[in-house]
Amino acid sequence: MDAIIAAHARRASALPAAKKKIARRPGARAAKTAPPPRRRLKREEREQQIVAEAVRYFADVGFSGDTRELARRLHITQPLLFRYFPSKETLIERVFQEVSTSRWSDSWAEMLADRSVPLKARLLAFYKDYSRIILTREWVRILLYSGLRGQDLNRKYLRRVRERIYVPILAQLREHLGLPTLAKSAPKALEIEAVRVLNEKIFYYGVRKWVHHAPVPEDIDAVIEADVTAFLDGVPGYIASLHGGKR
């Protein structure tokens, strides 16, 4: 009788352990929550997502960056990337357009040409607005990488800067000085160089910050005011001297 009672006790004490073993079986892994399915993007949304990440990627590593790595950053396959942009060159052209051309404001030409506003005020308004675009990390690094690569896109952009910034500013300086208009006397190479100095000086603040990682003044507007003042104190007299006037 004692033996029967002992056997029942052993079976009863084994039940909790068996339940614990059952609890540890693989069925417990099925309780993990599966990640929600990704929303399928519309074609235009996916294209813009690719362009935005490509801008960041090429600004980081330059145009030698591998498209496989770009696809990895986007969590897509390389073949899918090439469904939107058939070649790396096509993608680079779109990146350059996104960074430089599409951010160009038509209001800048009107700003520079408005002679109802004093010349200094026009230059200040223009360069303060322009600097908010050209001093961004993407603009500075993409433009420089493009130049190092010897791309025609870069040369086209520089021609745009000459025709839409340097020449209009020179036209206003000539009018301010009472000199012949550009229609009567074509721009002299040295006049363009004199005007270029101001634009490139302001752009170089971006190079210092985003390429050399050197400190730049926090108040860029104040720096631009100093630069424009110095420009107008010296360059108009120099331009007048190129036309036979006194400095």
Is 111 part of any domain?
Answer: yes
- Res 167: pLDDT: 97
In whole angstroms, give the CA distance from residue 103 to residue 139: 10
- Mean pLDDT by runs of 10 across the 247 residues of the chain is 49 49 48 58 88 96 94 94 95 91 90 96 97 93 91 88 96 96 96 96 96 95 97 96 81
In whole angstroms, give the CA distance from residue 153 to residue 141: 14
If asked whether residues 119 and 56 sit together in one domain, one would say: no
Q: pTM of the entire structure?
A: 0.79
CB 102 within 8 A of CB 111: no
In whole angstroms, give the CA distance from residue 164 to residue 109: 7
Q: How many CB atoms lie within 10 A of CB 40?
A: 7
If asked whether residues 69 and 172 sit together in one domain, one would say: no
Q: What is the CATH number of the domain that holds 122?
A: 1.10.357
Dihedral sign, Cα of residue 45, residue 108, residue 226, residue 193 = positive
Query: Measured in whole angstroms, how far is the alpha carbon of residue 122 from the centre of its chain?
Result: 26
Q: How many CB atoms lie within 10 A of CB 97?
A: 13
If asked whether residues 164 and 92 sit together in one domain, one would say: no
- Res 101: pLDDT: 82
Structural domain ending residue among the three candidates 79, 99, 119:
99
- Res 25: pLDDT: 52
If asked whether residues 132 and 216 sit together in one domain, one would say: yes
What tokens were used for 202?
Answer: 């302001």
Structural domain that includes position 226: 104-242
If asked whether residues 79 and 145 sit together in one domain, one would say: no
If asked whether residues 125 and 236 sit together in one domain, one would say: yes
Is 112 part of any domain?
Answer: yes
If asked whether residues 67 and 155 sit together in one domain, one would say: no
Count up the domains in the chain and report the number: 2
If asked whether residues 67 and 179 sit together in one domain, one would say: no
- Res 153: pLDDT: 85
- Res 54: pLDDT: 96
If asked whether residues 83 and 174 sit together in one domain, one would say: no
If asked whether residues 136 and 237 sit together in one domain, one would say: yes
Q: What is the DSSP string of 139-155?
A: HHHHHHHHHHTT-HHHH
- Helices 137-148 and 119-134 pack at an angle, to 10 degrees, of 80
If asked whether residues 159 and 80 sit together in one domain, one would say: no
If asked whether residues 91 and 163 sit together in one domain, one would say: no
Q: What is the CATH number of the domain that holds 60?
A: 1.10.10
In whole angstroms, give the CA distance from residue 100 to residue 153: 10
